[in-house]
Amino acid sequence: MKNKALMFATKAHEGQTRKNSDTPYITHPIRVAKRLEMESYSDELISAGYLHDVVEDTPYNIADIEKEFGTRVANIVAAHTEDKSKSWKERKQHTIDTLKSAEKEVRYLIIADKLDNLLGLEQDLNEQGDAIWENFNAGFEKQKWYHQAIVKNMYLGLEEDEIPCYFQEFEKAVNRVFG
């Protein structure tokens, strides 16, 4: 299933590149899935890691994911998917609200995704400086609010032994980037 998800996502994101670079977009879902795999999570969650941006950024929809990968993977992807018809603030508030009550596998995916994005942003800031904020729908202050709200809510309802080490890595990255 994991290999099938990788192939599906690679095809779906073909020709797309990462923000601020010419790096193929698929490198991001691969890193997210690999982080989940390093934690020995389920094949369904790892597959969702590969597929997490397919519905937002390609012509495929949740029904396509469900048909190819089953209800469990589709539900994880759907819980993580933003509704692009909504404003930036509404989309981000939805993610924050999802973190407050989502099952732990959805949380694991959200934080793995946000961590990878934030590490990329941090690298871009180091290389290109503060001008990087002009490439975002929301600048520094809104991004700071969003990332700090994620940190505040990502631990809710999780027992200490259910918190992967990359949650702390995300929290440290938020502190480095946003102070």
Residue pLDDT, tens place only, 4-40 = 999 999 999 999 988 777 889 999 999 999 999 999 9
Active site residue 57: yes
Domains defined for the chain, CATH in brackets: 2-178 (1.10.3210.10)
Residue 95 and residue 102: Cα distance in Å, rounded?
10
Taking all residues of the chain, what is their mean pLDDT, rounded to a whole number?
94
Which two tokens mark 167?
A: 């949650």
Residue pLDDT, tens place only, 109-153 = 999 999 999 999 999 899 888 888 887 778 899 999 999 999 999
Residue 75 and residue 87: Cα distance in Å, rounded?
23
Closest CA to 179 of 150, 126, 141, 153: 141
pLDDT for 70 equals: 98
Contacts of range 10-13, beta carbons closer than 8 Å, 24 or more positions apart: 12/54, 12/58, 12/59, 12/60, 13/53, 13/54, 13/57, 13/58
pLDDT for 165 equals: 96
Closest CA to 120 of 7, 15, 25: 25
| Annotated active-site residue in 22, 43, 44, 57 | 57
| Annotated active-site residue in 56, 68, 82, 169 | 56
Active site residue 171: no
